[in-house]
Structure formats: C-alpha cells, structure tokens
Copies of this chain bind each other. A is one copy, B any other.
Amino acid sequence: MPKLEAYDKKLDYSYCLGIFPCHALLDAKPEMAMRLLLHPSGIGNEGVEKLRARCAALGIREEMAERVLKRESKKDNCFAAIVFKKYDCDLKKDDAHAVFCQISDGGNLGTASRAAVGFGYKSLAVIRPCVDVFDPHVLRASMGAFFRLNTHVFNSFDEYSSLFPDREMYPFMLDGAIDLNNAASKAGKVHTLIFGNEASGLPAVFQQYGQSVKIPQSDEIDSLNLAVAASIAMYTFKNISH
C-alpha cells in the first residue's frame, strides 16, 4: 500500500476523521472506504470496536496509524479515521436541491450539509470557485452527513441550471422580493434553494433567476451566518411548504 500523504486537494483520496463520521461513511458509501486507521488509545472503545467489526465484514483492512491521525486531525485524541476514495454524484431530478455558490468556508459547508440531510435536501450543488468539498475539515463539520448527500461540483451556475431547467428557483438575497415564510408556503416539492458567498452573497443578476427570497432580520446585523441562513431556509421550506 502506498504511503498516506498529508491531505491535499489534488489527492484522489481523503480522510474521514472520527468515529461517528466513519459510521456514516460505512452506512452510505461503504464501497469508497479503503483503509481503517486506528489509534492505540482507542482500542477497546465501543465505537471503535464497532467500526473494526464493520470494516472486517466489508473486507476493509485496518492498521495502526497514530501519527497520520494526529497529523490530519491536529488532535491527540482522534481514535479512528477511514481513508476513502473521492467520488462524484449526480443530483436527483425529483429531489429538492440546495445550491451553494462560491462558498468559501469549509465549516459552513459542513454545517449546512448536516442540516441538509436533517431536512431532506439530499441533492447538493456546489458552484466553483468553492472550498474543496472533500477537505477533512468539511467532512468533520458535517459529522459525516456529507456522505449521505448526492453532491456535485459545477463550474458555473449556468452549468447547473442548464442541466436542471424548468425548476422553481429561490435565490436567497438580502434584498429578496418576498419573505421566506411567504415563499415557502407557495413552493412545490421539486424546487431549488440558492445561496451565495459568505461575504458578498449572490450577484444581483440572480434576481432574474427565479423568485428571490429574503429572511426577515433586524438591520442591526449585516447578515446571518451562511450555514444558519441556509438551514433556516431548508427547515422552513420543509415544514411550511406542502
């Protein structure tokens, strides 16, 4: 087996760090798992032993790799990780979609992914330029929810929209034309929620790409955190729309 390199965007594999995320990976994408990495201090831990048993049953080899775990997690107490092959997914036409344009913070993408799974948005489009979706930090922030999603990275929003024409599109903008609850109450099941960059939001042209939406908020803040805004939007569409 080749030496495990320090994570880099260019590698064709990545690291899923932590017991809970590793179980999510084995639940959702077991065929991508390559190696189970273990820390000596984790042997005997219930979650670790469950991982070992699942990997043994799947024919995934295990190895002690304390140094790699410490290097990738930057922590001393990361007890397990799975090395997995990066993959690409197609979005499902009949799903509700969430689109993240030019998202730059991996923590935000991971946190939003967790909420996306929680609220049934299983098809996620990420528009370049963007954070590396396989960065171990993103996967970690998602608590492994990332593996339960169909995520596809597009070179542009046009590439996405030409592949999925004729959908209800809801770009979220600080100057959106209607309020979130109002938009959600009218929405059909097959829709697309669109979110922009953390600092700059969506370009003004998105006003023409569908029904723009705003989340009512006090002018005492500049905006909400991106993961928070996206999560509120997905929750509300899920629980107010029919």
A150 lies within 8 A of chain B by Cβ: no
A38 lies within 8 A of chain B by Cβ: no
Copies of this chain, how many? Answer: 2
Give the complex CA separation of A215 and B234 in angstroms.
Answer: 12
Q: Kindly provide the distance from the CB of A141 to the nearest chain B CB, expressed in whole angstroms.
A: 8
Asked whether, in the complex, the Cβ of A143 is within 8 Å of the Cβ of B217, the reply is no
Per the CB 8 Å criterion, the residue count for chain A at the interface is 32
Asked whether, in the complex, the Cβ of A114 is within 8 Å of the Cβ of B221, the reply is yes
Contact with B along A138-166 (1 / 0, CB 8 A): 00000101001000000000000000000
> Using Cβ atoms and an 8 Å threshold, which residues of chain B touch A235?
215, 232, 236
Closest to A239 in B: B181
> Using Cβ atoms and an 8 Å threshold, which residues of chain B touch A200?
none
> Using Cβ atoms and an 8 Å threshold, which residues of chain B touch A181?
239-240
Give the complex CA separation of A227 and B224 in angstroms.
Answer: 11
Q: A119 touches which one: B218, B238, B239 (CB < 8 A)?
A: B218
**Chain A residues with a Cβ under 8 A of chain B:** 20, 107, 111, 114-115, 117-120, 143, 145, 148, 180-181, 215-218, 220-222, 224-225, 227-228, 231-232, 235-236, 238-240
